[in-house]
Amino acid sequence: MKLVVGTRNAHKIAELTEILTPALGALDLVPAQGEAPEEDATTFYENALIKARAAFADSGHPTIADDSGIEVRALGGQPGVRSARYAASGLDEDNTALLLKNLEGVEDRQAEFVCAAAYVTARGEYVIERRWEGTIAHAPSGGGGFGYDPIFLPEGSAVSAAEMSPAEKNSVSHRGQAFLALAELIATLPTE
Ligand code: ITT
């Protein structure tokens, strides 16, 4: 099955390949070619649709996209939909350093990753959202994953998300859960 992927994030493509292949069989995931759309909505749901619609309009091919981020309770849900550009540079190390700085001396470390997974075809639009609960560590650990993984301690886990194997992370993560549910839905739809 060929799917265009409306993302510029290579880490997401790698995770999506691992998540979707068992559910959908041999998969050809093709990164979107057109200009990245502006993600100007206030919800993960709407931003995921913006990305998937843009890649579908550009390619004319069934498209998936995700909008994701981390919501920290003590910060009123920030950085949320702005997670990729929380620090001015948008670099992972700077984003995580800023989050740790803003939580200095804060006892409530509760946080959750959110992923809205979108599928857009000529026949319709589908979005599924899932969350992954945990806490923010006091310092980074682990070299795997991307983004905020080194400072995210998943609920029930002794290690950070960056210390999990890709298979472990995908089996419980926000993206793993959202795209597994989306793949199950796609498998019930007529092929185009
Ligand atoms: P695209 O919009 O091109 O898909 P992006 O990285 O800008 O790429 P988002 O707008 O969805 O994607 O922002 C997601 C950010 O949230 C991402 O850059 C990370 O900082 C963070 N994030 C999302 N999922 C994550 C994960 O599984 N592990 C760690 N950080 C994650």
What pLDDT score was predicted for residue 105?
A: 97
Decide: 175 in ligand 1 pocket, CB within 6 A: yes
The Cα–Cα gap between 174 and 103 comes to: 23
Does the pLDDT at position 190 exceed 90? no
Give the model confidence (pLDDT) of 101-159 as tens digits: 999 999 999 999 999 999 999 999 999 999 999 999 999 999 999 999 999 999 999 99
Whether 9 and 92 have beta carbons less than 8 Å apart is answered as no
User: Which domains does the chain show, CATH number per domain?
Assistant: 2-188 (3.90.950.10)
Which of 35, 71, 83, 173 to probe ligand 1 with, by most ligand atoms within 8 A of CB?
83
Decide: 84 in ligand 1 pocket, CB within 6 A: yes
Give the model confidence (pLDDT) of 42-94 as tens digits: 999 999 999 999 999 999 999 999 999 999 999 999 999 999 999 999 999 99
Q: Which residues are catalytic?
A: 67
- From the alpha carbon of 169, which atom of ligand 1 is closest? 27
What pLDDT score was predicted for residue 160?
A: 98
What's the pTM? 0.96
Does the pLDDT at position 192 exceed 80? no
The mean predicted confidence, pLDDT, of the chain is: 96
